[in-house]
Amino acid sequence: MKAMVLKDKVKPGGEIANLFYEEREMPKAGAGEIVIRLRTAALNRRDVFIRQGLYPGIQVPSIPGSDGAGIISELGEGVEGFEIGSEVVINPAMGWGDNPKFPDPNFSVLGVPIDGTYAQYIKLPAENVFSKPKHLTWEEAAALPLAGLTAYRAVVTKGQVQKGDTVIIPGIGGGVATVALQIAAALGAKVFVTSSSDEKIEKALKLGATGGVNYKNENWVKELKALSGGADLAIDSIGGDTFKDLIYLANPGSKIVSFGATLGPINKLLMPHIFFKQLHIMGTTMGNPEEFRKMLDLFEEHQLKPTVAEVFPLEEVEEAHKQMEQGKHFGRIVLSIPE
């Protein structure tokens, strides 16, 4: 089979010179496993960090890619509930474990060191394979898993969003943020977003946001406070000073759920701003299998579709990575897998 293989851990200058399109051995299904003929895959920021050598546990050679969708081509012994030819999506959360509150110590995300979706075929435990929502295209199906799972756990499980809540999502445009917007809006929340791009804010409004503010504006925090009335729930992937801004924007007794820290550490955080407002601050990442199933059900119930920004052939993954690094896209960058 053809696959895009990571050969070196890092290249000086951040050049994309360590991914190679080459022939790899076809996977074979063992007991309890399924082989999928992939139709599409999708990029995550994690993929870029792995290519740049900035992610822990990197092993080479290996195949990157956490998100994918395709058709079952082989069933291992003991696998039930699936048929060869079934259209499926992949849950990239590997080995979550039995506790729904947090993952097992051996938990991992598909795609380095476990071979991922930048390939024509992939072998997975049957527990990580789910039926593809019928209303989604192949591109949309690949765009959903990691972002959808992360967003669902942040907004629903941790954030416990309610109809009429005001939700603030800073830095709209990335995969998780856009899906979080869709989920919150579908459940009846009023969603307000921030971006450095007026164009992205306009796209967010079309996706269901109630309002948005450009954070290049000098007084954007006060502007957002006046526009939204404050947040009952904030979903943050940015960290840094933006996290302090969210504490200011948070209403008393509200929740802040964090799943990332693009801007790094929080400097000079004043704890009284947290405890006097009785804030609930929670961390989250990925999610458990039941949350993945509920996320798919929610997308089917509300006929939601993740936003696909652009589609590249697998062999042009270098260009796809460049697009992700530039950060100008809105939604997910998807790879089409050759037959």
Q: pLDDT tens digits for 101-145?
A: 999 999 999 998 899 999 999 999 999 999 999 999 999 999 999
Tens of pLDDT, residues 217-274: 999 999 999 999 999 999 999 999 999 999 999 999 999 999 988 888 888 888 999 9
Q: Check whether 182 has a pLDDT greater than 90.
A: yes
Residue 328 CB neighbour total at 10 angstroms: 12
What domains, with CATH codes, occur in the chain? 2-145+289-336 (3.90.180.10), 159-283 (3.40.50.720)
Q: Which two tokens stand for residue 33?
A: 């496993």
Q: Which helix (H) or strand (E) holds 202?
A: helix 198-207
Computed over every residue of the chain, the mean pLDDT equals 95
Q: Which two tokens stand for residue 174?
A: 């990335």
Among 142, 135, 136, which Cα is nearest to 38's? 142
Q: Which amino acid is at 120?
A: Q
What pLDDT does 60 receive? 85
Q: Of 337 and 48, which is predicted with more confidence?
A: 337
Phi, psi dihedral angles at 257 (to 5 degrees): -115, 125
Could you tell me if 223 and 213 are in contact, meaning their C-beta atoms sit under 8 angstroms apart?
Answer: yes
Q: Check whether 13 has a pLDDT greater than 60.
A: no
Label residue 16 by pLDDT band (50, 70, 90). low
Distance CA 141, CA 38 (A): 11
Distance CA 337, CA 300 (A): 25
Among 335, 91, 294, which Cα is nearest to 187's? 294
Distance CA 258, CA 265 (A): 12
What pLDDT does 55 receive? 79
- Calculate ∠ Cα 186-187-188, nearest 5°: 90
What pLDDT does 14 receive? 52
Helix axes 175-186 and 145-152, enclosed angle (nearest 10)? 50
What is the separation, in whole angstroms, between the first and last Cα of the chain?
10
What pLDDT does 111 receive? 95
- Calculate ∠ Cα 162-163-165, nearest 5°: 70
Question: Please, which residues have CB within 8 angstroms of residue 63's CB and are 6 or more apart in sequence?
Answer: 3, 4, 5, 6, 24, 111, 112, 115, 116, 117, 118, 119
What pLDDT does 10 receive? 62
Q: Check whether 23 has a pLDDT greater than 90.
A: yes
Q: Check whether 15 has a pLDDT greater than 90.
A: no
What pLDDT does 328 receive? 87
pLDDT (mean) for 25-53: 95
What pLDDT does 56 receive? 78
**Over pLDDT 90: what percentage of the chain?**
86
Distance CA 197, CA 195 (A): 5
Q: Of 261 and 28, which is predicted with more confidence?
A: 28
Q: Check whether 12 has a pLDDT greater than 70.
A: no
